[in-house]
Amino acid sequence: MLLTQVRQKSLCPAMEVSFALCFEGRFSEELTAAGASVDQLGGVRIRQPLSVRRARRNLRELLRRKSFDVIVTHSCWSQAVFGPAVRAAGVPLVFYFHAPPNGRHWLERLARRTVPDFAVCNSKFTAAAVSKPFPGVPAEIVYCPVAPVEDRSEANTKLIRAELQTPDEATVIIQVSRMEAWKGHRQHLQALSLLKDLPGWVCWQVGGAQSSGEKKYLQELKEETKRLGIAERVRFLDQRQDVSRLLAAADIFCQPNSGPEPFGITFIEALYAGLPVVTTALGGAVEIVNDSCGVLVPPGDTCALAVALRRLIKEPSLRVRLGTAGPTRASALCDPAVRMKQFQRALQDHTQALS
């Protein structure tokens, strides 16, 4: 989402975005490559108070050197670490809610010590929980700006499928997500096992394991495909840099979350790619997917998931109808020009009200 704001900055020239980060990595590298202004504040471990003090001092120095109209924090972690420094500098503070707080985590308790002036929420689902940590703080819902992904083409489809040992005529079901259990991989595989009688489908699981727990989970999923008898039809593709090309070469997007997605950028990207989206009726997904572009199934209902996938595999015309509506639906929700301008206006209106 933030990279889109940088890469599509010409769509909203009234908003100039800068970034202050604590850690080097893929995000900082991609921001720099896109031409963003990036300042490093130094690594922070909350259990190491000196690192927190050093980073806050670096932020205060940055705020003295450069003039900013508003500071936006994007997590409870950054709100807890840097909220006090922003308050001390007298700059309006906005908290961007990317997920509803559960009220129990110690980071949330630290974040609540500094009350923001305004909140931006990425969905109605997230907005419903803002008052829990910050009662009385005004909030606005701004769907994430998401740029269209690569167009579908026969040449790309053939190339990707050849690379992934997938027949040209196969119906490809793709899931793109982190290797976390609540993303529904296990239920997805169990539903596919109910379709073993149906020839011609292949599943691409896209997403790399990062933590030790995720590596264990990934190995369990691979073992599950063997136990279910579908190992030869499931490809685990690890982390990829070409997700848009993979989406453009697939036929169905399926991610049956067992927990609510705060919003669901990956659903938007799948819709832009012209894929019907199959997911569970939880969280932000119900604000994105409707019967014009996909199928919502009850949470935890593996049989209903299998029925939805079976129908989409057997009825190409249904896939085409739902897929054709996808880009229009995605654009209506997340057109970068519309959402970036809405974000800019929200920040401007609320910071002006404070002055």
Residues of the domain holding 160:
154-334
In this structure, are residues 296 and 279 in contact, taking their beta carbons and an 8 Å threshold?
Answer: yes
- What is the H or E stretch that residue 294 is in? strand 294-297
Residue 213 counted as domain residue: yes
Q: State the CATH number of the domain containing residue 75.
A: 3.40.50.2000
Residues of the chain with pLDDT > 90, as a percent, come to 92
- What is the H or E stretch that residue 132 is in? none
In this prediction the pTM is 0.94
Total tally of structural domains belonging to the chain = 2
- For 278-292, what is the mean pLDDT? 97
- Please, which pLDDT band fits residue 151 given cuts at 50, 70 and 90? confident
- For 14-29, what is the mean pLDDT? 94
pLDDT above 80 (res 3) = yes
pLDDT at 152: 81
Residues of the chain with pLDDT > 70, as a percent, come to 99
- Tell me the average pLDDT of the chain: 95
Residue 138 counted as domain residue: yes
pLDDT at 355: 64
Residues 218, 312, single domain; the answer is yes
- Please, which pLDDT band fits residue 215 given cuts at 50, 70 and 90? very high
Residue 148 counted as domain residue: no
Q: Residue 58 has which token pair?
A: 């670096």
pLDDT at 336: 97
In this structure, are residues 239 and 178 in contact, taking their beta carbons and an 8 Å threshold?
Answer: no
In this structure, are residues 276 and 311 in contact, taking their beta carbons and an 8 Å threshold?
Answer: no
